[in-house]
Each structure stands twice: as structure tokens, then as C-alpha cells.
Amino acid sequence: MDKFIFHGIPNLIGALFSIVFVWFCVIKFKKKSYKDKLKPLIFLYVMLIILEVIKIFYHITVQNAYPAQRYPIVFCSLIMFTYPIICHSKKETIAVRISKALSIIPCVVIGFCYLFILPDVSSGFSSYSFVMNLHSRFYHFCMLAGALYMIFVKLYDFRFKDFFASGLTVSAYFLLCTVLSLFIGGNLSYFGPTSAPVQFLYQAVGYAVGNVLLCIVAMLLSLASFAFINLCISLHKKRKTSRNLKNLL
């Protein structure tokens, strides 16, 4: 029962929110101009910033401490920096394209991980406060909603070439957070020397070497995800053309 309250209810609320949000926005904005299509994203990133501010206030007022693990420079915070680039750029530069790619692929993965896998893994975080648990779910479902919305209204056309720049961006962000983690002496989530999921790697080869290896892994994952998406798109196109040919014949 406790598990259901801690994981089930926030997940249900979050999933419901993303479904309703995506459904509503897709219907309303699908046939509108590019500028109008960006409006839901502006709403989402303002909401993400508000959620971040709420988190800081909550930690300072209720918990009386703002630990380094909760600083907004974790992997999921990347989205807060990419949305403004997408929404406030006048031309579709490489930075905008990469921001779009980074707002879709990792967000879909993280969102679904939160829905199905992470509730047990993140129990250490969620058990310490129901409010923060709810906050975390809501934040990640906002990410998922934004990504799904961008896919459905076709805000970004996948190009295989983009895997390189997006992989490099993730690696650069990763290294930046690692250096920051060392400088502030804190243990940023996933970036500190004692962060749980990759600690075995840090112990085996050393913290800095482990980070370099993770950057390579990020590049390979970027390549794999773009290759997979492009394969799916080309298969879909082939099927569509063959169907059209059949109809013509």
C-alpha cells in the first residue's frame, strides 16, 4: 500500500497529465504555424522553471538544507536549457536542431524509465518526502509530454547527421557537470565520484577515466538511437509507398 501511495499515485497523476496535455495540444496546434506550435513548449519550460523554484524553496524552508544532489545541473535539467533555445531562436540553426533532438530522445527514454523502471531504483529519493516525489514525477512527465508533443506535431525531422552534434553536446554537458561537481565539492546526481549507478566504473578505472568512458558511451548511444529512429522512419516510408502503389494498381 505504501509503495502504491509513493509510486503509484504520482505516476498516475503524471501520466494522466502528459496524456491530456499532449492530446489537447496536438489537436489544437497540429495545423498551425511553426511559431504557434512553440507555445505549448514555452508553457512547459516556464512550468519546469516554476517547479525548480518550488523545489529550492521547499528544501530551504522545510528541509532547512539545499544539498548539492538537488542542484539544477543534473542530467534531467538539460531540458531546461534546451527549451529556451528552441522557443526563442528566429532561425533553425544547428543549435536549435540539436536542442530539439536532445528534448526528444533522452526525454522519451527518461520519461518511460520513470513510469516503469525507476520507481524502485529511486525509492531512496522518493521515500524521504511525498511532496518531492510528486514533484519529481511531475517534472519528468513534463519532459515526456514535451517530447511526445514535438514528435506528434512534427517539430523536428530526424536527420542521421545530427547524432554527432547531439552526442558531443551531451558529452560536453556531462563533463561540465562533472567538473562543477568537483569544484563545489558536492555529489551531484550521477556526476559525483560516489554516485550510485556508475560507482563501480569509477572504482575500477578512476573517476576521471570513468567519465571519459561515459562520454564515449553517450556518443555510441546517440549513434544507436539516431540509427534506430532513422531505420524506423525509412521502413515506415517504404511501407507507405508500397501501400500507395497497391492502391494505385
What is the contact surface with another protein in residues (CB under 8 A)?
161, 164, 168, 182, 193, 204-213, 216, 219
Q: Which CB sits closer to another protein, 8 or 206?
A: 206
Q: Which CB sits closer to another protein, 209 or 232?
A: 209
Q: 7-43 burial, b if ≥16 CB within 10 A, otherwise e?
A: beebbeebbebbeebbeebeeebeeeeeeebbebbee
Cell of 5: 501511495
Minimum CB separation of residue 201 from another protein in Å reads 9
What span, in angstroms and rounded, lies between the C-alpha atoms of 66 and 52?
12
Minimum CB separation of residue 237 from another protein in Å reads 22
Q: Which CB sits closer to another protein, 12 or 216?
A: 216
Instruction: Give the torsion sign (CA, 56, 62, 64, 67).
Output: negative
Q: Which amino acid does the sequence have at 16?
A: L
Minimum CB separation of residue 168 from another protein in Å reads 8
What span, in angstroms and rounded, lies between the C-alpha atoms of 63 and 6?
19
Q: Which CB sits closer to another protein, 122 or 187?
A: 187
